[in-house]
Amino acid sequence: MGLHQIIYSSRPFGFDAGTLNAILMDARRANERDGVTGALICREDIYIQLLEGPDAAVKAAVARIVRDDRHVDLTLHVDTAIEHRLFGEWAMLHDPAVSWIWTPEEIAAGAAERASSEEMRAIFVKLRARQERPGAV
C-alpha cells in the first residue's frame, strides 16, 4: 500500500476557538481510524494542512474537507506519492502559526494561492524541525 501526501490551503469560515477545537477533534478521530497523519497550521485568516498516509485514506480525508463548510477557497498545492511520512507520530499536529508564515496582509493578497508546491512543503519541513528542536526557526 503506497503512501500519499496532500498539502492544501483554505480560508477559515467562522474561525474561533470552538471551531478550531472541533476541526482538530474531528481530524484526529478520523485520521487515527484511517491511518492518516499530518499537521494543521492555522490562524484566523488561513489553514494550511499536510495530510499523509494510505492513498485512498488521504484522498477520502481531502474529500471530507472539501465538503466541510468551515473551509472556503480551498487550494490544492501538493498531491504526490511519498516514501516516508513527515509527521508519522501525529494524528494531527496543531501549530497556531502566529508569526512565522505570511503576514495577514500577504494572505489577503493571495500569498498562499501563489505559493509553489516546494514553498508549501518547506513550511512543513520547517514545522517538523521546530518540533524536533523547540525554539528553532
Q: What is the mean pLDDT of residues 28-45?
A: 88
CA distance 82 to 77: 15
In a domain, 65, yes or no: yes
Three-point CA angle 57, 132, 94, nearest 5° = 50
Residues sharing a CB contact under 8 Å with residue 37, sequence separation 6 or more, in sequence order: 31, 51, 52, 53, 85, 87, 88, 89, 90, 91, 92
Helix then strand then coil, in percent of the chain rounded to 5, is: 40, 30, 30
Residue 76 sits in a domain of what CATH number?
A: 3.30.70.100
Q: Is the pLDDT of residue 107 over 80?
A: yes
Q: What is the mean pLDDT of residues 24-46?
A: 88
Domain count, the chain: 1
* pLDDT at residue 137, rounded to an integer: 47
Q: End-to-end distance of the chain based on CA atoms, in angstroms?
A: 35
Model's pTM, two decimal places? 0.87
* Residues above pLDDT 90, as percent of the chain: 45
Residue range of the domain that includes 111 = 3-132
Q: What is the mean pLDDT of residues 25-44?
A: 88
In a domain, 137, yes or no: no
Q: Is the pLDDT of residue 99 over 60?
A: no
